[in-house]
Amino acid sequence: MKVKKGFRLVLLSNLELQIISYIFGNIVQLAILELDE
């Protein structure tokens, strides 16, 4: 049970957070490039 909880916590919820900021980072970069033009 503990393993299942840990797995959900880390490899899913937090990975999701990491991926969302990765997406956000790329959106910001795209926006800057757009402004740059």
Partner 1 sequence: MMSFLQKLFGRLANPSKRKKALLIVSGLCITAGWSINLLGNSAGLFNTLMIMSALVAEVEIARRAWQGLKNRHTNIDLLVTIAATGGIAIGVYWEAAAVTTLFLLGGWLEAQTMGKTRNTLRDLISMAPDTALVVENNKLLELPAGEVKEGMLVLIKPGSQIPVDGIVESGTTTVDESAITGEPIPAEKKPGSDVYAGTINQNGSIRVRARNAGSDTTLAKIIRRVEEAQDEKAPTQRFIEQFAQWYTPGIVGLSIASYLFTRDLELALTLLVIGCPGALVISTPISIISGIGNAAKKGILIKGGEYLENAGKVSAVALDKTGTLTLGKPKLTEFICLQREKVGAGIAEVQQSDDEISVVSASDLERQGWPDEVTELLYWAGIAESTSEHPLAGAILSEMPDSLDLPQADYFKSHTGLGIEAAYKDNQILVGNAKFLKQRAVPIAEDFNGELEQLASLGRTTVLVARNGMLIGGIGLADPVRPEAREMVQKLKDSGIEQVAMLTGDRQSTARAVAAETGIMEIHAGILPEEKNDFIRRMKEKGKQVAMIGDGINDAPALATADIGIAMGAAGTDVAIETADIALMSDKLLNIPESLMVSKMTLRNIRQNIVIALITVAALLGGVFMGSIHMAAGMLIHELSVMIVILNGMRLRML
Residue 9 CA to residue 12 CA, distance in Å, equals 6
The least distance separating partner 1 from the CB of residue 35, rounded to whole angstroms, comes to 9
**CA 33 to CA 11: how far, in whole Å?**
32
String of contacts with partner 1 for each residue 7-36, x by CB under 8 A = xxxxxxxxxxxxxxxxxxxxxxxx-xxx-x
Smallest separation, CB 37 to partner 1 (Å): 6
State the nearest-atom distance from the C-beta of 28 to partner 1, in Å: 7
The residues of the shown chain that bind partner 1, judged by CB under 8 A, are 2-4, 6-30, 32-34, 36-37
